[in-house]
Amino acid sequence: MNRRTWAELVVLAALWGAVYPLIELALRELSPTVVVLGRVLLACLLLVPLAVRRDALTDLWRRPRPIIETVLVQSTIPLLLLTYGQRYVPAGIAGILVGAQPLFVAMLAYRYAPDERPQGWRGAIGLAVGFIGLVLLFGVDLRGGGLALLGGALVLVAALCYAAGAVMIHRRHATAPPLGVATSAMLVTGAATVPPAALTLPGHLPGVGVLVAMGILGVACTGMTLVLFYTLIARTGPARAALAFYLSPAFAVAFGIAFLSEQLTLTSVVGLGAIVVGCLLAAHRAESAPA
């Protein structure tokens, strides 16, 4: 890969990592459903015109039920679970837990995606190492009380939903335009969260800091990242584009420390390392080695 591609990967990872501290800032004055609704509506402002211009939605919505079911699992449910969970979990920990998504993809692949199953001893060791990292985080960093454990569980279930949604996309929409899937996810999530968000709208205009956080979260960290991610997939392939996913938890931890004064614990470092190594081993494919 050339330097431009590496730079784009780092930018993408940084934007994904910034999601968690931005959510934490937004939650100071907004309910979780309002945060999710605002995030996806802002993303729609960027994605919908692109998807319409490229005719990325027409074929997907000829049969609406499959795409609605898929994006509910892949987007709507995990976005809500993640945002509710972050009321009780530090941004850095949330980023690390969501970073376990490839572990769940590998686990689900044993049953639902045979061509994506972890390979041999590397895959088995990868799953074991990754889940050891999760156990460390829950056993040490989230042991402080019931709410912390609840928040961690919600975030981890969100990661599982992201993984299940990825498998559903692979099985049901492998030939669909990725931009169309991403845009559909934002549209369906927006429609689903309007009613509950309407019940929890704030009685006053949020502060400037919260509005700025929401703007960055929706436009840059949701809409722009989806466009950049799928551009990288088209240019370099999905395996290389996915490198940004493995880097993003480290950015989440760094941003949490820098902007939210979160504490970096040894367990977080070890847990993050174990999850990243486990994900890489579990995702290894003998046939994917570079020529």
Section 199-207 average pLDDT:
93
Among 72, 93, 75, 86, CA closest to 31: 86
Alpha-carbon distance of 286 to 291, in angstroms, equals: 12
Alpha-carbon distance of 70 to 224, in angstroms, equals: 22
Summarize the chain as % helix, strand, coil (round to 5): 80, 0, 20
- Exposed, middle or buried by CB within 10 Å (0-12, 13-18, 19+), for 113? middle
Residue 222 carries which side chain, given as an amino acid letter?
Answer: T
Predicted confidence (pLDDT) per residue in 124-153, tens digit: 888 899 889 888 888 777 766 678 889 999
User: What is residue 239's predicted lDDT score, i.e. its pLDDT?
Assistant: 59
What residue segments make up the domains of the chain, in order of their start?
A: 3-285
Alpha-carbon distance values, 249 to 3, 110, 279 (Å): 22, 25, 12
Does residue 185 surpass a pLDDT of 50?
yes
Alpha-carbon distance of 19 to 221, in angstroms, equals: 6
User: What is residue 286's predicted lDDT score, i.e. its pLDDT?
Assistant: 40
Q: How long is the chain? A: 291
Which two structure tokens, joined as six digits, stand for 269? 């470092």
pLDDT level of residue 21 (50, 70, 90 thresholds): very high
Residue 203 carries which side chain, given as an amino acid letter?
Answer: G
User: What is residue 144's predicted lDDT score, i.e. its pLDDT?
Assistant: 63
pLDDT level of residue 237 (50, 70, 90 thresholds): low
Alpha-carbon distance of 264 to 256, in angstroms, equals: 9
Does residue 287 surpass a pLDDT of 60?
no
b vs e for 37-62, b when ≥16 Cβ sit within 10 Å of the residue's Cβ? bbbbbbbbebbbebbeeeebbeebee
Report DSSP state, residue 30.
S
Which two structure tokens, joined as six digits, stand for 101? 């998504």
Other C-beta atoms lying within 10 Å of the C-beta of residue 240: 16
Does residue 238 surpass a pLDDT of 80?
no
Q: What is the DSSP string of 229-284?
A: HHHHHHHH-HHHHTHHHHHHHHHHHHHHHHHH-PPP-HHHHHHHHHHHHHHHHHT-
Are 34 and 212 in contact by the 8 Å Cβ rule? The answer is no
Among 89, 104, 87, CA closest to 30: 87
Provide the whole-model pTM: 0.90
Q: What is the mean pLDDT of the chain?
A: 88
Section 178-207 average pLDDT:
94
